[in-house]
């Protein structure tokens, strides 16, 4: 496959559109298909009847894709001591927690924080990420975990921060926070995987050099979000580890998957996951 007539699935969040704008353009120009989906929908594609050629998923769900995909070291989201936030109302009430997807990185980090703080994590309810602040403000839960732009706009709903799960992860592991990663179908072959990685890294390098990170393409997919919030979102999650997550990023993946086994047993053994990480592809 010489042209990029591929199927691509990413989220519409600013850090994804910022990193993938060039690849989206080339895929569309070649007649390929691009989907913009919520993270829970992206994670569910591991057993879809027709799997996308390239997909951005939650790091915590990546092992579900092991049988059919290769791991790229670029265009992921690996933050430094920044992650999902645990929120509550100023006068907490209700019970349980709202979470943005079962088996996501946010879910794993939430469980780790609860264990450290001696908090009973149950009951858990899963909701689309952009609906969580409104439901928490309405008293549907005692706490909620928010991701994406809700991390920057929760005060608008009158909510308060209890903890940054990225800080908690960093305090516990000393590793970058593994939030999202990019996978490429194995049957595309190594050459195509490296070509995709090269496009992503070259595009990211150019984008990071821009004075204004947001573009018309980013703004079109960023829902109702100010340009200042878009820029903050991008600068928080698109960083040097977006070019290559590095050894520490790979170590963070393995640590996260070890933690996740208690929540979501993998259909693959730990040795195979170590081998998968070691066989990851960079630009």
Q: pLDDT tens-digit profile of 52-72? A: 999 999 999 999 999 999 999
pLDDT at 232: 85
- Can you read off the two tokens belonging to residue 86? 């645990």
- The answer on pLDDT for 242 being more than 80 is yes
Which H or E run includes 177?
strand 177-185
Degrees to nearest 5, angle at CA 179 with 176 and 185: 115
Q: Ramachandran region of residue 66, left (φ > 0), alpha (ψ -120 to 50) or beta?
A: alpha
Residue written as token pair 């998957």? 257
> CA-based angle 35:82:235, to the nearest 5?
60
| 7-80+177-278 shares its CATH topology with 85-173 | yes
**Encoding tokens for residue 236?**
């928080």
Kindly tell me if the per-residue pLDDT of 108 is higher than 60.
Answer: yes
Q: Is 36 exposed, middle or buried (0-12, 13-18, 19+ CB in 10 A)?
A: middle
Q: Which CATH number fits domain 85-173: 3.40.190.10, 3.40.50.720, 3.40.50.300, 3.40.190.150?
A: 3.40.190.10
What pLDDT band is residue 114 in, cutting at 50, 70 and 90? very high
78-92, 195-209, 219-233: least confidently modelled range: 219-233
State yes or no: is 46 an active-site residue: no
Half-sphere exposure of 141 (CA within 13 A, CB side): 25
pLDDT confidence of residue 40? 83
pLDDT at 1 exceeding the cut of 50 = no
Cα 45 from Cα 55, distance rounded (Å):
9
CATH class of 7-80+177-278: alpha beta
pLDDT of residue 224: 60
The string over 84-115, giving b where at least 16 C-beta atoms fall within 10 Å of a residue's C-beta and e elsewhere, is: bbbbbbeeeebebbbbbbebbbbbbbbbbbbe
Q: State how far the Cα of 61 lies from the Cα of 65, in Å rounded to an integer.
A: 8
For 142, the token pair is 């005692």
- Catalytic-role residue among 46, 66, 107, 148: 148
Domain ranges (residues) in the chain: 7-80+177-278, 85-173
Strands 54-58 and 7-10: parallel
Contact at 8 Å (CB) between 58 and 108? no
Distance from C-alpha of 283 to C-alpha of 127, rounded to nearest angstrom = 35
Helix (H) or strand (E) holding 117, with range, is helix 105-117
Task: Give pTM, 2 decimals.
Answer: 0.91
């Amino acid at each position: 496959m010489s042209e990029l007539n591929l199927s691509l699935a990413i989220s519409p969040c600013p850090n994804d559109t910022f990193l993938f704008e060039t690849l989206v353009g080339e895929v569309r120009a070649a007649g390929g298909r691009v989907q913009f989906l919520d993270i829970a929908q992206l994670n569910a594609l591991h057993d879809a009847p027709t799997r996308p050629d390239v997909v951005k998923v939650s790091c915590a769900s990546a092992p579900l894709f092991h049988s059919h995909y290769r791991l790229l070291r670029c265009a992921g989201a690996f933050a430094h001591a920044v992650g999902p936030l645990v929120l509550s109302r100023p006068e907490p009430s209700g019970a349980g927690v709202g979470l943005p997807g079962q088996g996501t990185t946010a879910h794993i980090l939430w469980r780790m924080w609860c264990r450290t703080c001696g908090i009973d994590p149950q009951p858990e309810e899963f909701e689309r990420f952009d609906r969580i602040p409104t439901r928490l403000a309405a008293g549907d839960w005692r706490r909620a975990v928010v991701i994406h732009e809700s991390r920057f706009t929760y005060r608008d709903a009158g909510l308060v921060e209890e903890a940054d799960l990225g800080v908690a992860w960093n305090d516990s592991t000393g590793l970058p926070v593994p939030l999202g990663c990019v996978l490429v179908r194995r049957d595309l072959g190594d050459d195509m995987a490296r070509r995709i990685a090269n496009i992503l890294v070259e595009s990211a390098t150019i984008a990071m050099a821009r004075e204004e990170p947001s573009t018309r393409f980013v703004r079109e997919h960023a829902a109702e979000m100010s340009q200042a919030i878009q820029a903050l979102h991008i600068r928080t999650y698109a960083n040097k580890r977006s070019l290559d997550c590095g050894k520490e990023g790979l170590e963070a993946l393995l640590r996260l998957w070890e933690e996740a086994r208690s929540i979501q047993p993998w259909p693959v053994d730990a040795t195979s996951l170590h081998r998968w990480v070691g066989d990851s592809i960079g630009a």
